[in-house]
Amino acid sequence: MIEVKGLVKTYGTKRAVDGVTFSVRRGDILGFLGPNGAGKSTTMKVITGYLPPTAGSVTVDGIDVTQDPVATKRRIGYLPESAPAYGEMTVTEYLNFLADIRGYRTKETRRVQVERAIGLTHLDGVRRQTIETLSKGYRQRVGFAQALLHDPAVLVLDEPTDGLDPNQKYEVRLLIRQMAAEKAVILSTHILEEVDAICNRVIIISQGKLVCDETPEKMHARKAGARLDEIFRQLTLTDV
Amino acid sequence: MSQICPLFKREFLGYFRSPVAYVFLVAFVVISVSLSFSPFGGFFGSNDASVRLYFSFYPWLFLFLVPAVGMRLWSEERRTGTIELLFTLPVTRLEAVLGKFFAAWAFLTLAILSSLTLAFTIAYLGQPDWGVVFSTYLGAILMAGGYLGVCSLMSALTKNQVISFVLGLIACGALLMLGFSGFTATLESFLPVAAADAIANFSFSTHFEGFTRGIIDARDVVFFLSLMGFTLFLNVVALDR
């Protein structure tokens, strides 16, 4: 579903992403790890078409993101870091606006999509509240509902469980796992146990370079008995 | 281009989701009407049943009020991070720029039309020429679009609304001043007269004046429309960075 080939992204003279290559198939839940500033968010921003790549290519469902950005954006559900949203709108107004833009032009089809997303993310209790009055956890869920709204084939989630309490984290993970069978999911995280809990593949990048692309089991096998964070430390130690 | 519609709706209704719209509309009417009734306006003294005097303040009024509407268009999106959301939705930059611009323009049009009560009052007291009233309103709406194009562009350059407001004010101020004889005289002192005249041609006030006298000149209409087109094009470019 997603093919990233030799992706390079530079900001001024700084190379944020330096020749990253990987692919994500349908059914994959890819855990995207790396220290802060390693280039995780930048890679996601290029995949979702927010930033143009400096070099290399990204295709989603066979379509290059620079050739036909609107077509790839239709296929992607994206939860940006810290889940930005139009704060002055209520939850239903916001989701209705997004459904409209996602091509659900009749009131009835919009309602179906919005209700589905609200149901999946348990937002029913706050649907008439404006987003700026919601707590961090609820805001994160609104962002999640926004990403799931059009039932996209590709989900790109930048720290989806950030700011959630343990119960909410559990629910979000359950939700991702349930949907993963027919989707390609990329999620970035700092929580290493999350990788064990839901991911079937792990990618670690450090200083913009790929240092590891394998299954969580294989990663555990790198050092028998060691915890995941020890292995992570070893792989990214140069990046301090 | 069908994506412009939902963007337009969200942006336009967005003004009314906060007190911004109501504060602005009331301020607009109160300031514009009190200016023309003030000693500077001389509305009653003129003994003239027309809206010309009322609209003579519009280029100055717009200088402050249009940047106030335009400053948040893109700055707000940049500050809150929703710009990342917007540009990962299936919309092109052009659609996003146009959707927002038309929404803000429609809002300004609403503000301008809310002064129609003044025209009706004049019609009750005397016999205004409705053709002139119409051309004046048309001119004001077109001029608002010109100011707004400039302000929308300035707003795309920064995530700080204050900077966006000041930049809009300066740019619009420059475009307004170009029309005044003192300014053109200064230009003529070091530029050839033809060049100074050409520059003076880019002024809001000179192109608006014809409308207030009931003349809808194609050159004036084209000026405002091409100013909008040009600034919105630059706006798309600025967002591409």
Q: Which structural domain, as residue segments, surrounds residue B173?
A: 4-240
Contact criterion met (CB < 8 Å) for A101 and B84: no
Find tokens 């609304």 and name the residue.
B161
Contact criterion met (CB < 8 Å) for A70 and B91: yes
Q: Given this model, what pLDDT does residue A155 score?
A: 93
Residue B241's pLDDT band (cuts 50, 70, 90): low
Contact criterion met (CB < 8 Å) for A49 and B88: yes
Query: How many domains are there within chain B?
Result: 1
Instruction: Determine the longest span between alpha carbons in chain B, in angstroms.
Output: 58
Q: Given this model, what pLDDT does residue B236 score?
A: 94
Q: Is A153 on the interface with B (CB under 8 A)?
A: no
Mean pLDDT value of segment A35-61: 91
**In chain A, what are the domain boundaries?**
2-235
Q: Is residue A237 pLDDT above 70, yes or no?
A: yes
Annotation: CATH topology of A2-235: Rossmann fold (3.40.50)
pLDDT tens-digit series, residues B83-142: 999 999 999 999 999 999 999 999 999 999 999 988 898 889 888 889 999 999 999 999
User: Contacts for B170-177 with beta carbons within 8 Å, 24 or more apart?
Assistant: B172/B62, B172/B63, B172/B66, B172/B67, B172/B147, B172/B204, B173/B63, B175/B146, B175/B150, B175/B202, B175/B203, B175/B204, B176/B59, B176/B60, B176/B63, B176/B203, B176/B204, B176/B205, B177/B203
Chain A CB contacts of B8 below 8 Å: none
Higher pLDDT, A74 or A238: A74
How many Å apart are CA A186 and CA A179, to the nearest integer? 13
How many Å apart are CA A157 and CA A164, to the nearest integer? 14
- Tally A–B CB contacts below 8 A: 60
Q: Given this model, what pLDDT does residue A240 score?
A: 47
Higher pLDDT, B41 or B136: B136
Q: Given this model, what pLDDT does residue A58 score?
A: 94
Distance from CA of B150 to the nearest CA of A (A): 24
How many Å apart are CA A176 and CA A117, to the nearest integer? 13
Q: Given this model, what pLDDT does residue A147 score?
A: 93
Residue B199's pLDDT band (cuts 50, 70, 90): confident
Percent above pLDDT 70 for chain A: 98
A175's CB contacts (< 8 A; 6+ apart) are A120, A121, A144
Higher pLDDT, A182 or B227: B227
Which of A34-38, A176-180, B163-167, B177-181 is predicted most confidently?
Answer: B163-167
Q: Given this model, what pLDDT does residue B128 score?
A: 87
Q: Given this model, what pLDDT does residue B33 score?
A: 87
Out of B18-27, B130-139, B147-156, B186-195, pick the least confident.
Answer: B186-195
Mean pLDDT value of segment A106-112: 94
Q: Is residue B181 pLDDT above 60, yes or no?
A: yes
Q: Given this model, what pLDDT does residue B211 score?
A: 92
pLDDT tens-digit series, residues A12-46: 888 889 989 999 999 899 999 888 888 899 999 99
Tokens describing residue B206: 């000179």
pLDDT tens-digit series, residues A136-152: 889 999 999 999 999 99
Out of A41-55, A117-131, B43-57, pick the least confident.
Answer: B43-57
Distance from CA of A97 to the nearest CA of B (A): 7
Tokens describing residue B202: 């880019």
Closest-approach residue (CA) in chain B for A49: B88
Q: Is B14 on the interface with A (CB under 8 A)?
A: yes
Distance from CA of A170 to the nearest CA of B (A): 25
Chain B CB contacts of A73 below 8 Å: 88-90
Which of B22, B88, B236, B237 should we substitute to test contact with A (largest number of A Cβ atoms within 10 Å)?
A: B88
Q: Given this model, what pLDDT does residue A238 score?
A: 64
Q: Which of A236, A220, A214, A219 is nearest to A30 (CA)?
A: A214
pLDDT tens-digit series, residues B223-236: 999 999 999 999 99
How many Å apart are CA A120 and CA A118, to the nearest integer? 6
Which of A86, A94, A139 should we substitute to test contact with B (largest number of B Cβ atoms within 10 Å)?
A: A86
Q: Is A85 on the interface with B (CB under 8 A)?
A: yes
pLDDT tens-digit series, residues B13-32: 999 988 889 999 999 999 98
Q: What is the ipTM of this complex?
A: 0.89
Q: Given this model, what pLDDT does residue B152 score?
A: 96
